[in-house]
Amino acid sequence: MKIFTAEQIRKCDEYTISHEPVMSIQLMERAAETCVDWISEHCKNHRNFAVFCGNGNNGGDGFAIARMLFSKGFDVDVFINNHKAKFSENANINLKDLREISGIAIKDFKEASEYRFDKRTVIIDALFGTGLSRNLEGEFKDLVELLNSKNNAKISIDVPSGLLADGIPDENATIFQTDYTLSFQFWKKSFLHPETGKYTGKVQILDINLSQDYILETETNDFVIHEMVKKIFKQRNEFSHKGTYGKAAIVGGSYGKMGAAVLATRSALKTGTGLTFTLAPKCGYEIFQTSNPEAMFIEGGDDFITSFEAEEDVVFGIGPGLGKHKETATSLLKFLKNYSKPLVLDADGLNIISDDKSNLKLIPKRSIITPHPKEFERLFGTTESSFERLQLAKDKAKEHNIYIILKDHHTQVITPEGKVFYNITGNSGLAKGGSGDVLTGILTSFLAQGYSAEHASILGVWFHGKAAGFAAKKYSKEAMLPSDVINEFGNVFEELNTAVEIQL
């Protein structure tokens, strides 16, 4: 799914209106109807709605939503900032229709402070949409601060008021803190970054049938990983053998840190690699042979790895539990100097490289690195926000011709060509040691099976998050373990296979 800027979305609306053809007021009606369908389905235990409408088209959406909710039997009150204020053409049309309904009270913003927000009242924010380019001020700022102080359920239409669609607002900006954002057609970039996404609650993207021609023809470098995984995923050939699915080698483990390499190895095994090896120190031999009997063990030292062996046609995933011992670091850097095929680098593999920035040039071209924000900082330097960090990641991916998987709530896959793919699967249950090791195993396995580095990265982060979703349902986000995530891989493959078969 493409991510468009606010300007591109505006042009998409205009293109749809001129080419469908459909009048702009009809498109507004269509958008309002999709919102009301969602609200009436998910707010069955609420009877009252307080709808706060601005003067622009977002307010027009709010007026139409209020009218439709009332027609479905809900009690609705509408708030505007001034009964004599100038509204946009479409907002004014919907406001006039609303004034003709005797059962809907139209109040002034000033009355909100005395309004009785009981437990069954839902607050709907239709103050500002994607066109906002400044901080909220005056009456709007005061109103949003008042509404944020209420404990009622809150829904924003398109974007929470005060939030910019494409970037980060000022530090002291006032932003509506919602529980749900009902957004039209596209994810907005600000929904996907921690500084801004914290305001959106749960995001629901509603299809309002904007022009598919415009969407297909308009270029962007930003995407949400969603339906594309169905096209990337390769079903297993019934006439295949273990050689068909490649060789993966997990390189990691040190005394006291064997669990990380165990998880990565098991993850690689469970994602379908034909042959899986573990290169680890001797002290982990019994652990690996017991925990992962399907994998082959290669001894690389006593208590930590001191030598790397590069077999032909093996894809390496290096880093889980590796440690930063001097001999390990020396051996890894020597290995990288003489190795040129794409591989996966994570954890201590990255930390060893970060000790000297000149080591970055040793990373083989088209390789995948998977830093969390702190590891990224050690590799490439500090930034002021996740938006700046993403831009720096794009610069470095291009400079070093590598794929950067920047771990976050919405993990980003950054390509050397400057494309960014945001992942929307996963949950906070992954915020535990070992989760990254599981991802390393997945990526190494997919790369070994012949997926391109780009496709392995996109499918890998989606797959990891999807399995975490199944694990959370079964065990809860609090209790789930990285090993539980691995145990859900079969459910993810089943879903993928079913989706591909239906698509065929």
Over residues 281-295, mean pLDDT: 95
Q: Is the dihedral of CA 479, 480, 482, 483 positive or negative?
A: positive
Side-chain-facing half-sphere of 153: CA atoms under 13 Å: 16
Backbone angles phi, psi at 420, to 5 degrees: -125, 125
Whole-number average pLDDT of the chain: 95
Beta partners for residue 280, in sequence order? 299
Over residues 451-460, mean pLDDT: 98
Residue 202 has pLDDT above 70, yes or no: yes
Over residues 98-113, mean pLDDT: 94
More confident residue, 171 or 39: 39
Residue 504 has pLDDT above 60, yes or no: no
Question: Do 6-220 and 230-503 share a fold?
Answer: no
Backbone angles phi, psi at 140, to 5 degrees: -65, -40
- pLDDT bin (cut points 50, 70, 90) of residue 309 is confident
Edge-to-edge strands of the sheet including 222-225? 222-225, 420-423, 412-414, 403-406, 368-369, 344-345, 314-318, 247-251, 275-280, 296-299
Q: Would the pTM count as exceeding 0.75?
A: yes
335-340-345 Cα angle (round to 5): 65
Centroid of chain to Cα 137: 31
Write the CATH number of the domain with boundaries 230-503.
Answer: 3.40.1190.20
- pLDDT bin (cut points 50, 70, 90) of residue 44 is confident
Residue 472 has pLDDT above 80, yes or no: yes
More confident residue, 131 or 114: 114
Question: What's the confidence (pLDDT) of residue 171?
Answer: 84
Question: What's the confidence (pLDDT) of residue 85?
Answer: 80
How far is 419 from 332, CA to CA, in rounded Å? 30
Structure tokens that stand for 1 in this block = 């799914």
Residue 52 has pLDDT above 70, yes or no: yes
Cis ω before 21 (30° cut-off from 0)? yes
For 386-407, what is each residue's pLDDT tens digit?
999 999 999 999 999 999 999 9
3-class secondary-structure state, position 298? strand
How far is 229 from 440, CA to CA, in rounded Å? 18
- pLDDT bin (cut points 50, 70, 90) of residue 55 is very high
Edge-to-edge strands of the sheet including 202-206? 105-108, 75-80, 48-53, 121-126, 153-157, 180-184, 202-206
Residue 285 has pLDDT above 70, yes or no: yes
- Cβ atoms of 60 and 66 within 8 Å: the answer is no
For 189-199, what is each residue's pLDDT tens digit?
999 999 999 99
How far is 159 from 165, CA to CA, in rounded Å? 7
Residue 115 has pLDDT above 90, yes or no: yes
Question: What's the confidence (pLDDT) of residue 423?
Answer: 98
- Cβ atoms of 370 and 391 within 8 Å: the answer is no
Which DSSP string corresponds to 343-410?
-EE-HHHHHHHHTSGGGGGGSPTT-EE---HHHHHHHH---SSHHHHHHHHHHHHHHHT-EEEE-STT
- What length is written for the chain? 504
Centroid of chain to Cα 227: 14
Question: What's the confidence (pLDDT) of residue 503?
Answer: 61
H or E stretch at 335: helix 326-337
Burial class from Cβ neighbours inside 10 Å (0-12, 13-18, 19+) for residue 356 reads: exposed
Residue 410 has pLDDT above 60, yes or no: yes
For 372-385, what is each residue's pLDDT tens digit?
999 999 999 999 99
Residue located via tokens 């993966």: 248
Over residues 20-43, mean pLDDT: 95
The letter for the amino acid at 79 is F
Question: What's the confidence (pLDDT) of residue 502?
Answer: 66
Backbone angles phi, psi at 365, to 5 degrees: -60, 145
Name 24's Cβ contacts closer than 8 Å, sequence gap at least 6. 13, 17, 90
Question: What's the confidence (pLDDT) of residue 379?
Answer: 97
Question: What's the confidence (pLDDT) of residue 283?
Answer: 96
**Topology annotation, domain 6-220:** Rossmann fold (3.40.50)
For 83-102, what is each residue's pLDDT tens digit?
678 999 999 999 999 999 99
Q: For the chain, give every domain's residue range.
A: 6-220, 230-503
Share of the chain above pLDDT 90, in %: 92
3-class secondary-structure state, position 422? strand
Beta partners for residue 80, in sequence order? 108
